[in-house]
A and B are shown apart, each in its own frame.
Chain A
Amino acid sequence: MAVVFEKTSMLTEKPFHYCPGCTHGIIHRLVAEAIQELGMGDKAIGVAPVGCSVFAYDYFNCDMYEAAHGRAPAVATGCKRVHPDKLVFTYQGDGDLASIGTAEIVHAAARGEKITAIFVNNAIYGMTSGQMAPTTLPGQITTTSPYGRDPDLCGNPIRISEMLATLDGPAYIARVSVHGVKYVRQAKNAIRRAFEMQIGGMGFSMVEVLSACPTYWGLSPVKALDWVEEKMLPSYPLGVKKEAFPEWNLKS
């Protein structure tokens, strides 16, 4: 019988610890598949800092770092400068990348650091059980915004992809989602494109992936996917935010 789909060898056999309905698992798979399809399995080095994905080193079947909260882009920079021929990526959540680690991501992007950031935005702190994130939507209820996020009191969500797209250093920045089959396919293509940019030495690349957190949104897994469509997409519009070399591809 022909095999039409199999688990990528870039993921280990370790069962994910993620909650039911969490889309981290899909994103892990897409990143791992992209690395394998590009033939970079023996050159990949990942960095996962603090957040729900802190155990990513158990799942990605390549050399991995666990890093301090927010500092993955700096750690990846140090690693990439030592091994410029390797594929170095970070896998960061929104609290990590868009709050405590804003300096590190902005300057890695500004330097055009030849790394790829996978930025998982689920609008909440999942690991610490549901506090307000920098990407939490106005009115969204969390354990530290129990009356809904009030922009007058605690500011507005940050659109990181649009912000970084204004810089000269990034080669490719896109926002994608994984709440439906169509979106998953688009996400895979964006992640591949981001890695290709790094392999080609074109500059910094980042893919922001909207992700569902049924547990701390207080929704069933299916309703959480609807919430991404209805609530997140208007605030976080999908699409390629920067493509510095649209004509370029890996074969050219």
Chain B
Amino acid sequence: MAEKMLMKGNEAIAEAAVQAGCRFFFGYPITPQNQIPEYMSKRLHDIQGACFLQAESEIAAINMVYGAAGAGARVMTSSSGPGISLKQEGISYLAGAELPCVIVNISRGGPGLGSIQPSQSDYYQSTRGGGHGDYRTPVLAPSSVQEAAELTQLAFDMADRYRNPVMLLGDGLIGQMMEPVLMPDYRLPADLPQKDWAAVGKPAGGSAPRAVINSLYLDSALLEKHVNGIYEKYAVIQRDEVRYQAEWTEDADYILVAYGAAARIARSAIRRARAMGIHAGLLRPITLWPFPADALRELAARAKAFLSVEMSMGQMIDDVRLALDGLKPVFLCGRAGGMVPSVQEVTDAIVKLKEGV
């Protein structure tokens, strides 16, 4: 019988990964995600056949992930912005070779070495595919420790289902804060595809063709065909995997769009605004890619204006604007550098919205 436990977000992600069958972890230290590799180093030590390895760099870690994913294992790495930048080459190769894995980014303030405080300034990097080439990575953004555990497990299933890297994008707040967690009772979906493409050492006398894990297609026509195939998967992801939460939207004149830690602050601000008689609501994207564009467009029928609440200088706001395509005005309430907006700050932005529209 599962019991509620008080856990840090980072620890909950690590334990949820193990529960979902992750037996291989390759990482490199960086704040504020260090509890993930630390937890994994202890937890995987006692599991037969499992392996935790601290790599010499983030670059090596993501390539170890490439090796283990290509070998058919459930595998994860974690880092924070600067380290995720280094992993981008490998993520592009993983997407190109269609290898499943989970990449956790507990993001911090940037650019450069930036700060170690919570930030959401890796939105572009995560949702646009920070590496080279035509590819996307599904991005899951938890806003509580419980949800971090649940989405970690979903990330493994999605990665295997679509043979693509899946990113869990938290921020320093989600990674570091402690909340009660009921570890989900994980069951492997019965309909996940077999990994008959994996490099396992071709068995003697077997009829299976040998495995070739590869992203190289020098013939442009073949590469285009390969990329088209990948984009057919992405179309299915965009159709089937959009996740979001709508709160107080039925009667909302003003819609706040916020994810992760910022959504919690937006929720408190909406309560204050409603106490003042302002009908505000929240659309919280859970998948940042695919972005819940249809849900936003539907809300535009009633809402007068939209406010993108971000711990960044206006990155997600691009997706809000793309979704609305000029239907309604869109404004930004953003802080940068690891500064977390206060509830009053966001409330003031809502009031300003009402006065301005």
Residues of A at the B interface (CB closer than 8 Å) are 41-45, 47, 54-55, 57, 61-68, 71, 74-83, 86-87, 103-104, 106-107
Interchain CB contact under 8 A, B202 and A62:
yes
From B56, B90, B211, B216, contact of A63 by CB (8 A): B211
- Tell me the bound Cα distance from A64 to B205 in angstroms: 18
Tell me whether A64 and B210 are in contact in the complex, defined as CB-CB below 8 angstroms, given that A45-B201, A78-B63 are known contacts: yes
Contact partners of A76 in chain B: CB under 8 A: 67
List 30 A-B residue pairs with CB atoms under 8 Å apart, sorted by A's residue number. Answer: A42-B202, A43-B201, A44-B201, A45-B200, A47-B67, A55-B216, A57-B214, A62-B210, A63-B199, A64-B210, A66-B214, A67-B66, A68-B93, A71-B59, A71-B63, A71-B90, A75-B64, A77-B53, A78-B67, A78-B69, A78-B71, A79-B68, A79-B71, A81-B51, A81-B64, A82-B24, A82-B72, A82-B73, A86-B200, A103-B59
Measured between beta carbons, the chain A residues less than 8 angstroms from B213 are: 64-66
Q: Report B210 CB to chain A, min CB distance, Å.
A: 5
A7, chain B: closest CB distance, angstroms: 17
Closest Cβ of chain B to A206, distance in Å, is 17
Q: How far is the CB of B217 from chain A (nearest CB, A)?
A: 10
- Residues of B in contact, count (CB < 8 Å): 41
Contact A78 B24 (CB under 8 A): yes
Given the complex, which residues of B lie within 8 Å of A107, measured CB to CB?
Answer: 55-56, 60
Query: Bound complex: CA of A237 vs CA of B216, how far in Å?
Result: 35
Interface centre among A41, A67, A79 (most CB of B within 10 A): A79
Question: In the assembled complex, which residues on chain B have CB atoms less than 8 Å from the CB atom of A83?
Answer: 71, 200-201
What are the interface flags for B30-61 relative to A under an 8 Å C-beta threshold, 1 for contact and 0 otherwise? 00000000000000000000010101110111
Please state if B63 and A57 are interface contacts (CB–CB under 8 Å).
Answer: no
A57 to B63: give the CA distance in the assembly, Å. Answer: 18
A74 touches B73 (CB 8 A): no
Given A65-B70, A66-B213, A81-B68, verify A42-B60 contact (CB < 8 Å).
no
How far is it, in angstroms, between the C-alpha of A65 and the C-alpha of B63 when the chains are bound?
A: 11
- A-binding residues in B (CB < 8 A): 24, 26, 51, 53, 55-57, 59-61, 63-73, 75, 89-90, 93, 97, 199-206, 210-216
Determine how close the nearest CB of chain B comes to the CB of A55; give it in whole angstroms: 8
In this complex, what residue of B is CB-closest to A113?
Answer: B53
Report the separation of the CA atoms of residues A65 and B201 in the bound assembly, to the nearest whole angstrom. Answer: 11
B77 to chain A, nearest CB (A): 10
In contact, B66 and A63 (Cβ under 8 angstroms): no
A81 to B54, CA, bound (A): 13
Closest to B101 in A: A78
> Are the C-beta atoms of B90 and A68 separated by less than 8 Å?
yes
Q: In the bound complex, what is the Cα–Cα distance between A82 and B53 (angstroms)? A: 12
Q: Give the CA-CA distance A63 to B210 in the complex, in Å.
A: 5
Contacting residues, chain A, for B211 (C-beta < 8 A): 63-64
Q: Given the complex, which residues of B lie within 8 Å of A44, measured CB to CB?
A: 201
- In whole angstroms, how far apart are the Cα atoms of A63 and B211 in the complex? 5
In whole Å, how far is A117's beta carbon from the nearest beta carbon of chain B? 14
Residue in A42, A55, A75 whose Cβ sees the most chain B Cβ within 10 Å: A75
- List 4 A-B pairs, minimum CB-CB distance, nearest first: A78-B67, A74-B63, A42-B204, A78-B64
Task: Give Cα A44 to B56, complex, Å.
Answer: 26
Chain B residue numbers with a CB within 8 Å of A62 are 201-202, 210
Task: State whether B93 touches A104 (Cβ < 8 A).
Answer: no
A112 to chain B, nearest CB (A): 13
Q: Which chain B positions have C-beta within 8 A of A86?
A: 200-201
* Neighbouring B residues of A79 by C-beta, 8 Å: 67-68, 70-71, 199
Known: A42-B202, A68-B89. A78 touches B65 (CB 8 A): yes
User: What is the minimal beta-carbon distance from B72 to any residue of chain A, in angstroms?
Assistant: 7
Chain A residues whose CB sits within 8 angstroms of the CB of B200 once the complex forms: 45, 63, 83, 86
Cβ-defined contact, A103 with B24, below 8 A: no
User: Which residues of A are found within 8 Å of B68, using beta-carbon distances?
Assistant: 78-79, 81-82
Q: How far is the CA of A172 from the CA of B82 in the complex (A)?
A: 36
Q: Are B210 and A61 in contact (CB under 8 A)?
A: yes
Contacts of A47 in B (CB 8 A): 67
Quick check: A103 and B204 within 8 Å, CB to CB? no
